[in-house]
A and B are shown apart, each in its own frame.
Chain A
Amino acid sequence: MTILSEAPAETKRPAASGLMAMVRHTQYVLAENPVTAGSFALFIAFLIAAILGPSIVPYDPLASDTAAALQSPSAHHWFGTDQLGRDIFSRVIVATRLDMTIAIASVVLVFLLGGFAGIAAGFYGGWTDRIVGRISDTIMAFPLFVLAMGIVAALGNTVTNIIVATAIINFPLYARLARSEANIRREAGFVHAARLSGNSDPRILMCFILPNIMPLMMVQISLTMGYAILNAAGLSFIGLGVRPPTPEWGIMVAEGAAFIVSGEWWIAFFPGVALMLAVFCFNLLGDGLRDIVDPQRRT
């Protein structure tokens, strides 16, 4: 048979392997958008602090030295010391691991719960949709921070419970987003085509619909990550969740708050800045992540 061919649409460079294309695309996105590049750098700094924190800090974050209490920032103690003489710089760095763990674990949990519940609701509709929808509505009916307080107070003051509480209050965001996106794609041509190929419904959900809504979910993940950190710090601030003397940004701000009036601003200031930077970084990261995850932006 003769091969009928039309004129080639355009000549492009030969397609590289998937990973290389991804790396090149990431470089492009970062080079194109300095804000994203900045937030990525910040994110990597936080990651290094979280992983290596305890081994790189100059002082033991828990060791108190009453002789050196309440010193202002200096060459010895970059961020100063607190009322027990503990080095604030060391404590801020060491706290990164705990705060990041809470944020990442809660986001992973809520992504698994909310994301899958939402996709199923959008895809199947009917009773699944109604049940997921009403659960979301019920959660949304509470003031979210108060709900998180209630959950931690009821279940007990542990890191696991902070993670669970943070995941639960973010559930509606994920469920609703995933539901609407899955619902749009339910009748898409490629989903019908997948059925014709003999794909079962669960497979269509996992292999066809989920990957296609990942770019949007990435933005959501990044935004809630910042929110989760704030939430964890907030719970610790009011005395729920992580307990002293564990270094944690929220507790440190809470402890330092009493000293601001007397002029020792650095105790609350530096953990506060760390908290702000972390939230700021995650919020900016979202757009960049979406651009990297979405293959349609890759050419």
Chain B
Amino acid sequence: MTVSSATAPAILDVRDLTIEFATRRGTVRAIEHVDISLAKGETLGIVGESGSGKSVTSYAVMRILDRAGRIAEGSIMYSGVDVVAASEDELRDLRGREMAMIFQNPRAALNPIRQVGRQIEDVLLEHVQTTRGEAKQKAIEALQQVRIARPEERYHAYPFELSGGMCQRIVIALALACRPQLLIADEPTTGLDVTTQKAVMDLVVELTRERAMSTILITHDLGLAATYCDRIVVMEKGKVVETALSKDIFSNPGHPYTRKLMRATPRPGAGLRDLLPLEAATAPLPAPAPSTGEVLLRVEGLVKEYPRQDTSGLFSKFFGKQQEPQAPFRAVDNIGFEVRRGETVGLVGESGCGKSTTSMMVMRLLDPTSGRITFAGEDISAVPARNFATNPMRRRIQMVFQDPTESLNPRFTAARAIADPILRGKSMSRDALRARCEELAGLVGLPLEFLDRLPHQLSGGQKARVGIARALALSPDLVILDEPTAALDVSVQAVVLNLLQDLKIRLGMSYLFVSHDLHVVRLLCDRVIVMRAGKIVEAGTAEQVLEAPTAEYTRQLIEAIPHPPV
């Protein structure tokens, strides 16, 4: 489907691009015959799931492919310059001055031991945009342009003193310092909170529009791309499957893959089953067992304090130089809630709000400073976290971790990982153990032949299933889900969320669902608790909190979710 692109001449023209990577099993084609053109002043979104080749395409445009990668066929023309044939010297001149890039992890993209202002100066001086004398002035101007408050002060800040959103602004300032014509943003807001994401994206769009720049936004989030881009290219397995104006893509998706992607994106008005592809014949959600109303978990007056002297890493971004190191920092400040049997409670908030700390304490991996955690009538906060591993209550509270890759021992096969909790409990014959593993694998929909694979031989979705099977191995009463789908592609997320819901109803468990994604929370949760800075700002049923929020902060959170034009 061709789309009448803007009449302006193309600044970037990628024709028939094929990129190969040399691997152990011969050459692999990362992208095949990709055509992309970008008009001056246009914002183009490249959307696709992991492995679709969207990042490789953009790396090829800047010619920063790693050594194994090779442009096999095709041409890349950037305003008259043949990028494929250009020498390294010409390219160096082009990068930074003509095209610039924003990377996914802003903290990793900045030099950790150099003041941010100086890093901006470095770029300006490298491209002879300024003289040494006025470099500082220009750097401060650049900081001002990315809406950083008190730029003179922040000029001297080190990256670790700034929050993630601030760091991304600095990276944007760096990218835009030399007034490039083309900006490539590779997942610029992944890992940032929704409110920060909104601020950063608004800023990028405003700045590029002001300067009539062309932008390529690479993202896995169709909603985000549709909100901020003029045109969208959808990629699947190294091929462009659809190119459309973003206002059309939601109302009239052409390619089946685009439709699948759109279906899988959690959105208002869609239930859990609506996320799955139409062709997947799935039974309707089983009716939830009538809640007995019995309170399974009760948290009262929970507090976790950290001494301020240990303000390293995570905490330093909240407490810059100006704070005096007296009163201890309260990560969790006197919160209380209940989880009933058979219920899913959502714990929502942005990074640093204390939701993870809370879940770690409920999980009994961390000792609270004060407060009580009662589980099934027993005060489990009385047992110190270090002794809890051998407590009989341990098997009744389990957890599914955020990152399925990191939470699996790289040296255990899937079967061994699933069997680990069982092995610690009671002795079992090899055959019985294997049978139990296979039963669990069947429960989570993991094909049996994957049981003997190591984690790095499994896909993200399969690893997530292994993690869920491991959590279910001891038939727990309460499972804490710590953003279980945050590291997964949307289509896999849809499947995993449905799986979790089915399992809950089938096995009669309760969930404590920790997440920052309100759409996902709405799909799964009966009740929602919104946290901010260690305190609960709002609690209620899911509809109540999401449809008619009473707290100002909840409203902000809901508004920050990208609203694609429909």
Contact = CB atoms under 8 A, between A and B. Distances in A.
Interface of A: 1-6, 8-10, 12, 14-15, 28, 188-190, 192-201, 208, 211-212, 295-296, 298-299
Given A195-B389, A299-B457, A2 B282 contact: yes
8 contacts: A1-B283, A2-B283, A3-B442, A6-B492, A8-B447, A28-B24, A198-B425, A212-B410
B408 interface: yes
Interface stretch (B303-311, B390-398, B552-560): B390-398
Interface in B470-505: 470-471, 473-474, 491-492, 495, 498-499, 502
B156 interface: no
Contacts of B394: 196, 198
**5 shortest interchain CB distances as A-B pairs:** A189-B407, A9-B459, A197-B421, A198-B424, A189-B406
Given A1-B283, A4-B495, 8 more contacts: A4-B280, A192-B399, A193-B467, A198-B389, A198-B421, A198-B424, A198-B425, A296-B410
Interface stretch (B241-249, B448-456, B513-521): B448-456
Contact of B365 (A1, A4, A192, A212): A192
B365 A295 contact: no
A143 B467 CA distance: 50
Contacts of A194: 409, 420
A296 B456 contact: yes
A192 B400 CA distance: 11
B92 interface: no
A288 to B, nearest CB: 16
Nearest to A204: B389
Contact of A3 (B401, B445, B491): B445
Contacts, number: 112
Contact of B402 (A14, A189, A195, A208): A189
Nearest to A15: B452
B561 to A, nearest CB: 25
Interface residues of B, number: 55
Contacts of B211: none
Contacts of B390: 198, 200
Nearest to A207: B409
Given A1-B506, A190-B407, A211-B411, A6 B491 contact: yes
B299 to A, nearest CB: 19
Contacts of A190: 406-410
A200 B388 CA distance: 9
B363 interface: yes
Nearest to B506: A1
Contacts of B449: 14-15
Contacts of B458: 9
B461 A6 contact: yes
Contacts of B282: 2, 4
B18 interface: no
Nearest to A12: B457
B462 A198 contact: no
A188 B406 CA distance: 7
Contact of B498 (A4, A196, A197): A4
Given A192-B407, A197-B421, A4 B399 contact: no
B365 A199 contact: no
Given A193-B470, A199-B424, A4 B411 contact: no
Contact of B420 (A4, A9, A197, A211): A197
Interface string B350-365: 0000000000000101
B281 interface: yes
Given A4-B276, A6-B495, A198-B424, A15 B453 contact: yes
B386 interface: yes
B445 A4 contact: yes
B401 A192 contact: yes
B364 to A, nearest CB: 9
A193 B424 contact: no
Interface centre among B399, B401, B411 (most CB of A within 10 A): B411
Contacts of B456: 295-296, 299
A193 B452 contact: no
Contact of B445 (A5, A189, A296): A5
